[in-house]
Amino acid sequence: MNRIPIISLLNPSPGDSHNIRQTLTSSSTFSLKKDTYEADILLKMRNELMKLHSSICCTNIENGEVNFILNKVLQGLKILSSDQVFSKPDRVVIQNISQLTAIIVRLVNKKEDIINLQKGLVDPKEIPEAISKEKCGIIFNVVTQDMMENGRKGGSSSYKGHRLPKKHVQLLESWYKNNIENPYLNDTDIRILMRETGFSRSQVKNWVANKRRKDKHSTISPELSDLLAN
């Protein structure tokens, strides 16, 4: 699942991108299962955008040129995202790309208004009407295709909020029901459930922990709740 959290698009936090280069080139703690070729594409795209950004801010640049570069970048992203799930450092780069692209698209849209403002042609009060003259030719779609369903080879693709397959969750449910008196996993349990469900160690543990909490805060007894669910 190639998704960039909305919050980091709107409020870019410097802390995250602190050591991109390091992690990208020296394939460190993260499990980078890609060759450097693709990482290079991402870096190249960003550098392209950085240059574009710097030039659009301060000089006159043709809209056609802007569109050309943006489309190339989007194409590149599309190709990459259809092929694989991004690793964490790559997602940071993509976040950068997305932010820059969004900035540039908006700058292009508002450029005319701004120029007019500077020339004093327009009273600021009048902008509300003039603001939408330009058409927005480029839509940057942050959320790429959901690969949960069809793809799902190798990659973990485990993000917050993504539902686990119902079929496998039912195995965890039934384990929990059988051990309702003492719903704590021992090492054997974990290994069995991992094999049966295909989930990772932490997924099994997290699920049971979250389940315990849910029961605790439930007003009615877990057994009754189980009955009502049918």
Which residues of this protein are in contact with a copy of itself, per CB under 8 A?
A: 6, 9-21, 24, 43, 46-47, 50-51, 53-54, 57-58, 93, 96, 99, 102-103, 106-107, 109-110, 113-114, 117-118, 124-125, 127-129, 131-136, 139-142, 228
46 binds DNA (CB under 7 A): no
Lookup: tokens for 70: 């943006």
Cβ at position 214, least distance to a copy of itself in Å: 18
CA 122, distance to chain mean position in Å, is 40
Residue of 119, 125, 163, 195 interacting with DNA (CB under 7 A): 163
Could you tell me the end-to-end alpha-carbon distance of the chain, in angstroms, rounded to an integer?
Answer: 32
Lookup: tokens for 218: 């439930």
CA atoms within 13 A on the CB side of 219: 0
Lookup: tokens for 123: 């009273």
185 binds DNA (CB under 7 A): yes
CA 74, distance to chain mean position in Å, is 15
Do 120 and 85 form a contact (C-beta atoms < 8 A)? no
Pick what 35 binds: DNA, a copy of itself, none; C-beta below 5 to 8 Å, kind-dependent. none
Which of residues 137 and 165 has its CB atom nearest to a copy of itself in the complex? 137
> In this structure, which amino acid lies at residue 105?
V
Work out the number of other CB atoms within 10 angstroms of the CB of residue 164: 15
Cβ at position 40, least distance to a copy of itself in Å: 10
Segment near DNA (CB under 7 A); pick from 43-51, 75-83, 93-101, 158-166 = 158-166
Cβ at position 159, least distance to DNA in Å: 5
User: Cα separation of 28 and 190, whole Å?
Assistant: 29
Instruction: Tell me the three state secondary structure of residue 84.
Output: coil
| Length of the chain (residues) | 230
Cβ at position 226, least distance to DNA in Å: 12
Pick what 188 binds: DNA, a copy of itself, none; C-beta below 5 to 8 Å, kind-dependent. none
Binding site for DNA (CB under 7 A): 1-3, 5-8, 88, 91, 146, 148, 158-164, 169, 184-185, 202-203, 205-207, 209-210, 212-214, 216
